[in-house]
A and B are shown apart, each in its own frame.
Chain A
């Protein structure tokens, strides 16, 4: 069946009459073209004719005492006619065709690759501010323009490239390398005392030690000098070493004797929001927590397609739990234990290295709380590096005068 016949539509008819051969000739003589004539039994033929010839052929055959019945309808014409009777399917097909042409012109998914320290959310947010977001046109995406905009927005980025593949936009970034802080290798430095103490142990790797074990030193005093007198000249270098000393520290720690705590749960409440891109639609009135008697759990559930592509549409759920507020009074023994533990933790945190050798704690209740006054004998590292002014600069200054 050729295309034109298929478009105009053909019908398969059955001719039943006393002289079917003659009927065929009469039909042809009347200008009706028959196709694929088949012998379908005694005095019966089957053939295809054009849709428009059906009524005429019926009249001709009836004239000769025969009968024509339509057996089947074939061709694009009938297929389209059947399709028109199904509006839902037809509208679905139209929608599919429309989306097939329309969707590839839009950006629906954005991926970020190559980032390590800069978060993807920050890059996507910056890209959305400069025109690359959910639903933006692919034609409007200009890689060079967006690159300049993103580099201006996020200084940590060194290079940005944007490529689009169908509905997906891929932002490839390279982050700026942060130069590593290298220890200063030039100049002269000495090891000085960070606080007062009595030297217990001294390890010198470089430099000239200017104090001994057992001597007391004050804060800022040079322990290992970066200058070494060699007789004919003075050598300047960066002193290295460790100096441990016995030091004394004092602390005063306070805490209240009464506080408020969370009691039994009264009830919970869920509040829902719809997030579309950067916009949020709340399905409730008011927001926030008014007091300390309730807590809040926040969850976002994004619409994700198979394959891991996440759409910027999410349901946000805020669950509020309300509790009884109770007042809690703290016993003295408990408070003392807490304060001692807190002071020990604080001391170990502020010391570079070392530990507490002895401690004298005085715990007493004060008005509305408890107080711990403590004195601590510590064995700790007190040597810190300090940059020294070089001798050449010193001589230059003298020459200027």
Chain B
């Protein structure tokens, strides 16, 4: 069972669980050609077919083809190309 932090507990108490909390990763998929990941913690694997991005809860595995990191800053990461799947591998 997930142990929530104090911020999540406060958000749950005031009924704001659906809103983004500070530091929480946000993954937005625009169609099937552009993926925006906010609050990432770096790339762990990079290739044309698979890109793994470390986030707070584990690793985000993006599979597709002809993918590339279009833009990468300390907070944001934009992946372009044909995206087939986005999987969160939760940290044990």
Is B72 within 8 A of A33, CB to CB?
yes
Is B41 within 8 A of A35, CB to CB?
no
User: Looking at the complex, which one of B44, B47, B73, B74 makes contact with A39 (CB distance below 8 Å)?
Assistant: B47
Q: Complex formed: what's the CA distance from A22 to B42 in Å?
A: 7
Nearest Cβ on chain B to A49's Cβ, whole angstroms: 10
Nearest Cβ on chain B to A306's Cβ, whole angstroms: 51
B56 within 8 A of A: no
Is A34 within 8 A of B43, CB to CB?
no
Is B44 within 8 A of A34, CB to CB?
no
Is A31 within 8 A of B74, CB to CB?
yes
B36-76 at interface with A (beta carbon < 8 Å): 41-48, 68-74
Is B68 within 8 A of A24, CB to CB?
no
Q: Complex formed: what's the CA distance from A24 to B74 in Å?
A: 10
A37 within 8 A of B: yes
Q: Complex formed: what's the CA distance from A25 to B74 in Å?
A: 7
Nearest Cβ on chain A to B55's Cβ, whole angstroms: 12
Is B42 within 8 A of A37, CB to CB?
no
Contact with B along A230-274 (1 / 0, CB 8 A): 000000000000000000000000000000000000000000000
Is B46 within 8 A of A20, CB to CB?
yes
Is A21 within 8 A of B46, CB to CB?
yes
Residues of A within 8 A of B48 (CB): 39
Is A37 within 8 A of B41, CB to CB?
no
Give how many B residues have a beta carbon under 8 Å from the other chain's beta carbons: 15
Is B74 within 8 A of A35, CB to CB?
no
Residues of B within 8 A of A22 (CB): 42
User: Looking at the complex, which one of A29, A37, A38 makes contact with B74 (CB distance below 8 Å)?
Assistant: A29
Is A37 within 8 A of B73, CB to CB?
no
Is B47 within 8 A of A24, CB to CB?
no
Q: Complex formed: what's the CA distance from A37 to B42 in Å?
A: 13
Q: How many A-B residue pairs have C-beta atoms within 8 angstroms? Tell me.
A: 46
Is A37 within 8 A of B45, CB to CB?
no
A28 within 8 A of B: yes
With A36-B68, A38-B68, A39-B48: A24-B43 Cβ-Cβ less than 8 Å = yes
Residues of A within 8 A of B45 (CB): 21
Q: Complex formed: what's the CA distance from A38 to B80 in Å?
A: 11
Interface residues of A: mostly helix, strand, loop or mixed? mixed
Residues of A within 8 A of B74 (CB): 28-31
Contact-residue bracket for chain A: 10 to 19
Closest chain B residue to A30, Cβ basis: B74
Nearest Cβ on chain B to A383's Cβ, whole angstroms: 108
Is B46 within 8 A of A34, CB to CB?
no
A45 within 8 A of B: yes
Residues of A within 8 A of B41 (CB): 25
With A29-B74, A31-B74: A21-B68 Cβ-Cβ less than 8 Å = no
Is B68 within 8 A of A37, CB to CB?
yes
Residues of B within 8 A of A33 (CB): 71-73
Is A25 within 8 A of B46, CB to CB?
no
Closest chain B residue to A37, Cβ basis: B69
User: Looking at the complex, which one of B46, B47, B70 makes contact with A36 (CB distance below 8 Å)?
Assistant: B70
Residues of A within 8 A of B43 (CB): 21, 24-25
Q: Complex formed: what's the CA distance from A250 to B14 in Å?
A: 141
A146 within 8 A of B: no
With A21-B42, A22-B42, A25-B41: A37-B72 Cβ-Cβ less than 8 Å = yes
Is B73 within 8 A of A36, CB to CB?
no
Q: Complex formed: what's the CA distance from A112 to B70 in Å?
A: 63
Give me the 7 closest cross-chain CB pairs, A-B, nearest first: A25-B42, A37-B69, A21-B43, A28-B74, A34-B72, A33-B73, A29-B74
Can you list 24 contacts pairing A with B, beta carbon distance less than 8 Å?
A: A21-B42, A21-B43, A21-B45, A21-B46, A22-B42, A24-B42, A24-B43, A24-B46, A25-B42, A25-B43, A28-B42, A28-B74, A33-B72, A34-B72, A35-B71, A35-B72, A36-B70, A37-B68, A37-B72, A38-B68, A39-B46, A45-B46, A47-B69, A47-B72
Other A-B pairs, 17, CB within 8 Å; known A21-B45, A25-B43, A39-B47: A22-B42, A24-B42, A24-B69, A24-B72, A25-B42, A28-B42, A28-B72, A29-B74, A31-B73, A33-B72, A35-B71, A35-B72, A37-B46, A37-B69, A39-B46, A39-B48, A47-B69
